[in-house]
Chain A
Amino acid sequence: MYHQATWDEPLIIEKSQAGKRGHIPTGPSDIERKIAGDLGSAVPMALRRNGLPPLPEVSEPEVIRHFVRLSQENYSPDLGIYPLGSCTMKYNPKSAELAVSTHKLEKLHPEQDESTVQGMLAMLFRLDKILAEITGMSRMSLQPAAGAHGEYLGCLIIRSYHRSRGELEKRTEMIVPDSSHGTNPASAAMAGFKVMVVPSNSEGMVDLEELKKLAGPNTAGLMITNPNTLGIFEKNILEIAKVVHQAGGLLYYDGANFNPLLGKVRPGDMGFDIVHLNLHKTFATPHGGGGPGAGPVGVTKELERYLPIPLIGFDGKKYFYDYNVPDTVGKIRAFHGNIGILVRAYAYITSLGAEGLKTVAETAVLNTNYILSRILASGTYDLPFARARKHEFVLSAKKLYDSTGVRAMDLAKRMLDKGVHAPTTYFPQIVDEALMVEVPETESLADLDQLVEALLGVYREAQTNPELVKDAPHYASVRRIDDVKASHPKTLTLHWNNPTLLENRKVSNEEISSQESKSRLTSPPSR
C-alpha cells in the first residue's frame, strides 16, 4: 500500500526568525558607492518603501528543507503512472534537461544581435520545419506559451482572415463540439466570437446533420480536436472540413490529443487550416506543475501572412528575424516564446526521429486499449459510445453511483491511496460520472496492470465498503480536502496573514447554495 510523505510542514512565514537570511546578493564596490554618491535623493520620497519588505527570514538550509519536504508531498510522473485524461502525462526524458542547462541558452537575452544567436535561431528555424512536417502545415509560430495561448492566436488569425475578405462583421460564430476542451469555447469567446455548440451523435462523434444546420454565412470557424476527448477518431473529418469550408469558415485543430496520430495522420491532410501542438504533452517536455508549456501554431500557406512577428528566416548563410509578414497579427507575448520548452522538444524529437515518433503514437494507443480491454472484460464500468478508442477513453461510473452512492470523485480519491494518479473526472460533460483515462507510451506493462487493479479495486470497494471510498484518500499527505469551505466567501483564504479576505461580507443563503452546487462539479460533496 502506498503511503505519501506527510511532513506537517509549516508555512515558510511561520519558520521566519528575525536576523536570518538565505542569500547574500552582490553589493557594489566601495568605489561604485563613492561615485554613485549619497542615496538620500536617489528615490523620490513618494515612491520610497517604508522600512524593509515583509518577507520571511530563513537560512538557506531551512529553505531547501522546506521546499524539498513539500516536493515529497507531491505526486508526479517520476513517481508513477499519471493517467490524467487529455493531459498526456508522459515521462519526461532527462537528456532534455541537460540540453537546456548551459549558459549558451540560459544567458541569452532576447534582444541580442542576430549575429550572436545564430545557433539558437538555427534550432528554432529547424523546429519550425520539423513541426510543420509533423502536422502537414506550411509554417509555424513558436510564440504561444501554452495550448490555450495557441488557440487564442488561432482565433486572432481567423479574425484577420475574415477581416481581409471584408467578412469579419458577419462571421461572428465559432462552432465547437459539446465534447470539446473548455479552452476552445473560452478562447473563441475571448477573441470576440459567439460560441455555437454542435452536439455529439450516438457514436460520440460530431453530429454531421447538426453541424450542417449550424454552419453558414455567420460561421467564422470550427475548433475541434481529433481524436476527440472521448478518444474517438472523428472518421467524418473530411466531410466536417468540407461543410465548414463550404460555409466559408476555417478549421482549427486543437492539438491536445495529437499524441496517437504522430507519424500516422497529419492535421494538414485532414483539411485543417490552423493547428496548435502542446509540446508539454506530445513532445514530452515537463508540465512544471501547471506550466511552462509551449503551444506552437501551424498554418496553411494561405494563412502564413497573418503569423506573429518575427518569424525566423535563413538566407543560405545566416539566420535572421523575418518581419516581412504582410498582415501579421503582431505579437501574442513578449519576445520569442517559451524557448526552454522549445529546446527540450527539439531534443526529444531528435531522440526519436520519424520511426520513433510513430512508435510513440502506436504504443500510446496500444497501452490505452490494453487497459480498456481489461476493464471491459471485468464487467464493471460502462463505456458510453463506440468502442474504438485511440489515446484515451471515458468510463462512466453512473451505474455504480446509482447503486452505492459512490461518486466518480470518490473513486478518484480512493485511487490516490493505491499509488497512482487519478483519471480526469467529470469531463467531458456528456458522460455521467466520467473517469477519463489516458495512458501514454512511457508506461510499462507493470504500470498498466497496477492502474487496472486500482480502477477495478476501487470499484469493488465501492460495492463492499462504500464508506471507505467516500472517506478517501487515507494514505495521501492529507485526508479529503474541504473544497466547499476553501471557496466559500466566508472562509476563502488567499493569503497567510489575512485569514479571510471576505470575512465581513454578508452572504445570502442563496449564494452559499449556488457556490456549493457549482463546486460539486469538481469537488467532493460537502460534508
Chain B
Amino acid sequence: MAQTSHPFIPNSSDQLRNSMLRVIGIGSLDELYSDIPLEVRLNRPLKVDGFASEQEVRSSIEQLFKENKSGSDYNSFLGAGIYNHYIPAAVKAIVSRTEFQTSYTPYQAEISQGLLQSLFEFESMIRDLTAVDAVNSSLYDGSTALGEAARMAVRATGKYKVIVPRNLHPDKLSVLRNYTEPVGIRLEAFGYDEETGGPDLNDLQSRLDRETAAVYCEVPSFFGTLDADVVRIPSLCHEKGALSIIGFDPISLGGLKPPGEYGADIVVAEGQSISSEMNFGGPGLGIIGCRGENLLRQIPGRLIGMTTTINGTDKAFSMVLQTREQHIRRERATSNICTNEALLGIGAAAYLSLLGPKGLHDLFESILVKTRYAIKRLQELPKASVPRFETQHYQEFVVAFKRAPGITSKINRRLLLAGMHGGKSLVGDFPELGESSLLCVTEINTGEAIDRFSGLMTKLLRGSR
C-alpha cells in the first residue's frame, strides 16, 4: 500500500483502498485472496526490476535501441516477406487514433461503427483488388493465412493433400506444416524450372490427383519471378476437383492481374507492406479471401457485413456469420482465431484510400522500374549470374555467385562493414542454387543507393576468389 497512487492505478492509495474495503465489508486486501491455498501463493517479491519514472523507462529503451542499426542507418536490400515501403503520415495518424487503437473486437456493434465500417472498407478494397467474393478482417500474418487457407481447402473438399511450390519461404513452410500435420494433411512440393524459376507444370501435374485438396502458388514467386504459367494452375486444379490458392503481394496488384480473374479460389497475402513499418517482422497483416459460398462457410476469423438498424432507418455494420467462430461453435469452429490484426486492416484501408488507383499503379511501376534498374546495374558483376532466373521480376531477384562455398556470407559480412545489408542468403534452404542470395528493391532504394551497392559488390567480387 502507498500514500499516493501509481499513475496507472487510480485506486492504489491507502485512503481510497480503505474506503472501498469498507464497502466490501472486509478489513484487508489479503482477505480477497483468502480462498487461494497457501501452497500455491508466492511468498516473495517477483524478481522484476522496475517502478521507474516514465522518463527513465523511455531513456532505458532508447539506450537499448541505440545499438540497433535500422534501415535508416543502412542501405538495405532485404525483403523475403517483410518489406521496407514508405508508409504515408496520414496512415500513421489514422492508426494512432486511440478510439481505434485501444478498443477491442466490436462485440457491441452499435458503439463500434467506426471500427466496423473501416474494416468493411478494408475487406471491400482487398476484395476489389483480388477479384474474389469475400475477404475477412485479418489473420495473424501471411504465413498463418496460408496455413488457414490449406485447412479451409481440406474442409471444403474432404481431401487431404496440399501441394506447394518448392520455392517457398522456409518460415512459411514450417508454419504450414504446423497448421496441417496435426489433422493429417499431407504436403507435397512441386518444383520450379531451373532456367526460368517458373512452376514446373509437368511435375505439378504428376502430383495433382483426385486426392488433392489444393495447390498453392505465389505471384510474384519467392524468387521474385513473374511466371505466366501460374495462370494455368487454377484450371489444372479444377479439372481434378482441387482448389487453387494464390499468394499475392498487395502493392503488385497495382499492375498485376487479380488472382480471382484467373481462377483462384482462395487468396492469401502478407499485408504489412500496405499498413505498417517493418517492426522487426511483426505485427503482420494476414489477408485471406475466397470465392463462392462453400468456401465462405469455411473461412476463419471475423467477417464484417453491411446491414441496417432494426428500425430500417440507417445503414449499419456488424460482425456476420459468427456461428463459424470459436466463441459460439467452440471445438467445431472453422479456426481458434479470436484476436487478429484489425488495426493493420484499418491501416491498409487508409493506405489504399490514399494511394487510389493511380497511386497504387504508379508505385507498382516504380518498383518494377527499380527492380529492372538494379538488375541491369548488377548484371556487370563478375562471376555472378544476375538474375539467376531468366524471366521478368518484380521487387526481388536471385543473384547466384559462381564462386567457392562461403562467398555469400562473406560478401554480406563485407557489405555490413560498409553500412549495407545484402540480400537474404539462400544457401542453407536452397542448396540447389549454390551460393546465392535474394535481393529486394522497393521505392525506398534510390538509384544512387543501388549504384553504391553494385559498385561495392563489383569490388568485392573482383577482390575475392
Number of interface residues of B (CB under 8 A): 211
A350 in contact with B343 (CB, 8 Å): no
What's the least CB distance linking A306 to chain B, in Å? 12
Pick the residue among B57, B72, B316, B338 that contacts A146 (CB under 8 A): B338
- The reply on B352 being an interface residue by CB < 8 A is yes
Name the contact of A115 in the complex, choosing from B57, B135, B416 (C-beta under 8 A).
B416
Q: Does A44 have its Cβ within 8 Å of any Cβ on chain B?
A: yes
Q: A70 near B113 (CB under 8 angstroms)? A: yes
Q: A64-B94, A99-B61, A354-B45 are in contact. Are A363 and B12 (CB under 8 A)?
A: yes
Instruction: Find out whether the CB atom of B366 lies under 8 angstroms from the CB atom of A289.
Output: no
* Nearest CB in chain A: distance from B222 CB, A: 12
Contact between B343 and A70 (Cβ–Cβ < 8 Å)?
Answer: no
Q: In whole angstroms, how far apart are the Cα atoms of A42 and B371 in the complex?
A: 10
Chain A's closest residue to B118 (CB) is A70
User: In the complex, which residue of chain B has the Cβ closest to the Cβ of A351?
Assistant: B57
Which one of B50, B61, B80, B282 lies within 8 Å of A353 (CB-CB)? B50
A84: chain B residues within 8 A (beta carbon)? 104, 107
Shortest CB-to-CB span from A308 to chain B, Å, is 9
Contact call A25/B316, Cβ cutoff below 8 A? no
Q: Does B365 contact A (CB under 8 A)?
A: yes
- Docked pose: A103 CA to B54 CA in angstroms: 20
What is the size category of the interface that chain A forms with chain B?
35 or more
Contact partner of B112 among A60, A75, A487, A527, CB < 8 A? A75
The smallest C-beta distance from A161 to any residue of chain B, in angstroms, reads: 13
Shortest CB–CB separation between residue B8 and chain A, in angstroms? 6
Tell me, in angstroms, the Cα distance from A498 to B305 when the chains sit together: 12
B109 within 8 A of A: yes
B205 within 8 A of partner (CB): no
Chain B residue numbers with a CB within 8 Å of A41 are 392
Known: A53-B361, A331-B171, A496-B121. A478 touches B54 (CB 8 A): no
> Which residue of chain A is the closest to B423 with respect to CB atoms?
A111
**Alpha-carbon gap, A159 to B143, bound state (A):** 21
Residues of A within 8 A of B412 (CB): 113
Stretch from A394-402, A442-450, A460-468 contacting the other chain: A442-450
Among the stretches A6-14, A208-216, A245-253, A297-305, the one at the interface with B is A6-14
Q: Give the residue among B45, B135, B174 with the most A Cβ atoms within 10 A.
A: B174
Measured CA separation A145–B382 after assembly (Å): 44
Q: Kindly report which residue of chain B lies nearest to residue A482, judged by CB atoms.
A: B310
State the Cβ distance, B186 to closest chain A Cβ, in Å. Answer: 14
Q: Any chain B CB within 8 A of the CB of A422?
A: yes
Given A35-B377, A443-B10; A159-B111 close (CB under 8 Å): no
> Would B11 and A110 count as touching, CB distance under 8 A?
no
A353 near B353 with CB under 8 A, answer no
In the A-B complex, list the 10 residue pairs whose CB atoms are closest, starting with the nearest: A353-B50, A110-B281, A335-B281, A290-B342, A74-B114, A288-B343, A22-B354, A353-B51, A292-B283, A119-B67
With A44-B226, A145-B283, A235-B35 given, name 9 new contacts (CB 8 A).
A70-B117, A99-B57, A104-B62, A109-B82, A110-B278, A123-B64, A152-B336, A265-B42, A473-B110
21 contacts between A and B (CB under 8 A): A24-B362, A39-B365, A49-B253, A54-B128, A57-B357, A58-B353, A64-B90, A70-B118, A149-B144, A190-B182, A290-B115, A331-B174, A339-B282, A366-B20, A370-B23, A421-B111, A482-B309, A483-B320, A494-B320, A496-B120, A502-B293
